[in-house]
Amino acid sequence: MVDYSNNIRKKIFSQFPKVDKLIETETIKSLIQKYPRDLIVDFIRDILDELRNEISQMEEKKLLTFALKKEEIISIIQEKLVLSLKPKLRRVINGAGIILNTGLGRAPLSKQAQQALIDVTNGFSSVEIDLPSGLRGNRHDLVEDLLVKLTGAEAAAVVNNNAAATMLILNTLSLGKEAIVSRGELITIGGSFRIPDIMEKSGAIMKEIGTTNQTKAWEYENAINENTGLLLKVHTSNYKVVGFVSETSLQELVEIGVKHNVPVMHDLGSGMLFDLSQYGLPKEPVVSESIKAGADVVSFSGDKLLGGPQAGIIVGKKKYIDLIKKNQLSRALRCGKLTFAALEATLRLFFDQEKLIKSHPALNFMFKTKSELEEKAVELKNGLNSILKDQGETGIIDGVSEIGGGSLATESLPTVLVKLKIGEMSPEALGKKLRLSDPPIVTRIKNDRVVFDVRTLFDDEIALVIRAVDALVNPG
């Protein structure tokens, strides 16, 4: 078979506009009034290189359908240029229905946390000054009292994220010593957090015991020797082993730890400050329960169910937390004032549980009732219908939302979805157009239709979704 691909490629490349012609087009001329000309020219060169690369790697079938007309190539370049000039990190509308999605920045912050960020960045801040004495303060003190009150622990420290917290605790308490962990708890979270790797990097010696589905208390006890640094328990937050299963409870581990004078660490993953199951939601481990059971150090994330900024929170016995704070690694893993500002405001919300569900967006989404979801779905569907006329179809169907973030991973919440089809556009193409809308909208595909899960839409976002769809069907 003759390969025509190279001829087609040559033909496409010959249609490529010259840079000096491109910058004469109206769209790009107007961009040059706003941005430095050199920057624009630089971006255009990158885009042309990128396009050439794409085309060089395209298969013949795709090449044949690829836009050959000069005008079309120009509009592709213009589109890419406009996108390059926009910020990369932007607010996104989450129509996909995963409440805590690492890709979408996990927990959205409360209004109170947002306000705190504005306040402390508006000028200077008290991040490390003790205001009454005027002396140098310690940033750990900013939230330690709050964490102690909310968890019942003796002391607390905060670092960059829970991976950092885990690494820091292991390095402080088990450097060069054996940390005993069940084979059923050697988890991977989100691809890059792997307990065995974190343990190795921390300088602890991993001592695995038991089997995937069963680890008994005596196995921990048998593994203890004079070089044991730590007993580690990890909440297996993103999967469930069912069937012939038995794990050693934290309480049993604590008994063994006390008997042999070895500290017990509990990595809770998400961790919650109160019991969600009392409100009919799935149970997620409660930090104060681990403390009450006698864990020496407990770690959890700031941006999962807690609903705050990215952070790793460590609570536990004062003698261990003091060692952790003194470790030089904790200086390297420390958080900035922005994190402390948002975290402090988030923690304060938990003192008023009545208002909490209203002000804490992630909890608010979890607590949405079926009728609230239906009401939102109808509002979205009607709004879409009024702009679509006969250019598309909508509908309301049942579905499930995920809590996500490794929290309650095996649990899902029944929800209401609004499906959308525009003309003959494929769901993949429509999904892409929505992601490139302003603001970007992330959706899901179900039964060959783009769907919006109304659970994760803020009230004011329904109008934004309708406006974005309007811009797609009625351009100009």
Ligand X SMILES: *Cc1c(COP(=O)(O)O)cnc(C)c1O
* 301 is a contact residue toward ligand X (CB under 6 A): yes
Q: How far apart are CA 313 and CA 315, in angstroms?
A: 7
Choose the stretch contacting ligand X; rule: CB under 6 A; options: 38-46, 73-81, 151-159, 233-241: 233-241
Residue closer to ligand X (CB basis): 81 or 363: 363
Q: How far apart are CA 472 and CA 476, in angstroms?
A: 9
Contact in structure between 15 and 71 (CB atoms under 8 Å): no
Residue closer to ligand X (CB basis): 407 or 456: 407
Q: Contacts for 1-8 with beta carbons within 8 Å, 24 or more apart?
A: 3/60, 4/60, 5/58, 5/59, 5/60, 5/63, 8/60, 8/63, 8/64
Task: Classify each residue of 160-176 as buried b or exposed e, where b means 16 or more C-beta atoms within 10 Å of its C-beta.
Answer: bbbbbbbbbbbbbbbee
Query: Binding residue for ligand X (CB under 6 A) from 94, 110, 162, 171?
Result: 162
Residue type, 277: S
* 161 is a contact residue toward ligand X (CB under 6 A): yes
Choose the stretch contacting ligand X; rule: CB under 6 A; options: 43-51, 55-63, 267-275, 394-402: 267-275
Choose the stretch contacting ligand X; rule: CB under 6 A; options: 50-58, 116-124, 157-165, 213-221: 157-165
Query: Binding residue for ligand X (CB under 6 A) from 221, 247, 267, 453?
Result: 267
Choose the stretch contacting ligand X; rule: CB under 6 A; options: 66-74, 140-148, 262-270, 278-286: 262-270
* 324 is a contact residue toward ligand X (CB under 6 A): no
Q: Please, what is the minimum distance in Å from the beta carbon of residue 457 to ligand X?
A: 25
Choose the stretch contacting ligand X; rule: CB under 6 A; options: 230-238, 375-383, 389-397, 447-455: 230-238
Q: How far apart are CA 446 and CA 429, in angstroms?
A: 14
Binding-site residue total for ligand X (CB under 6 A)? 14
Q: How far apart are CA 177 and CA 206, in angstroms?
A: 9
Q: How far apart are CA 269 and CA 35, in angstroms?
A: 44
* 307 is a contact residue toward ligand X (CB under 6 A): no
Closest CA to 185 of 101, 269, 257: 269
Q: How far apart are CA 340 and CA 257, in angstroms?
A: 33
Closest CA to 160 of 324, 310, 267, 341: 310
Q: Please, what is the minimum distance in Å from the beta carbon of residue 214 to ligand X?
A: 20
Closest CA to 100 of 280, 193, 299, 237: 237
Residue closer to ligand X (CB basis): 97 or 312: 312
Query: Binding residue for ligand X (CB under 6 A) from 13, 66, 193, 274?
Result: 193
Query: Binding residue for ligand X (CB under 6 A) from 107, 189, 209, 366?
Result: 189
Q: How far apart are CA 128 and CA 344, in angstroms?
A: 14
Cβ-closest residue to ligand X?
A: 269
Q: Please, what is the minimum distance in Å from the beta carbon of residue 264 to ligand X?
A: 16
Query: Binding residue for ligand X (CB under 6 A) from 95, 257, 269, 427?
Result: 269
Q: Please, what is the minimum distance in Å from the beta carbon of residue 207 to ligand X?
A: 19
Give SS3 for 182: strand
Residue closer to ligand X (CB basis): 159 or 205: 159
Residue closer to ligand X (CB basis): 248 or 394: 248
**CB-count exposure of residue 440 (10 Å: 0-12, 13-18, 19+):** middle
Choose the stretch contacting ligand X; rule: CB under 6 A; options: 108-116, 138-146, 265-273, 282-290: 265-273
Helices (H), 86-194: 111-121, 141-151, 162-174
Q: Please, what is the minimum distance in Å from the beta carbon of residue 205 to ligand X?
A: 20
Touching ligand X, residues 354-413 (CB under 6 A): 406
Residue closer to ligand X (CB basis): 270 or 330: 270
* 312 is a contact residue toward ligand X (CB under 6 A): yes
Residue closer to ligand X (CB basis): 194 or 348: 194
Q: How far apart are CA 8 and CA 370, in angstroms?
A: 55
Q: How far apart are CA 399 and CA 103, in angstroms?
A: 21
Which residues partner with 256 through β-bridges? none
Query: Binding residue for ligand X (CB under 6 A) from 177, 233, 235, 325?
Result: 235
* 309 is a contact residue toward ligand X (CB under 6 A): no
Choose the stretch contacting ligand X; rule: CB under 6 A; options: 135-143, 155-163, 215-223, 256-264: 155-163
Residue closer to ligand X (CB basis): 267 or 461: 267
DSSP state of 105: T
Q: Please, what is the minimum distance in Å from the beta carbon of residue 447 to ligand X?
A: 31
Q: How far apart are CA 253 and CA 216, in angstroms?
A: 10
Positions in the binding site for ligand X (CB under 6 A) = 161-163, 189, 193, 234-235, 237, 267, 269-270, 301, 312, 406
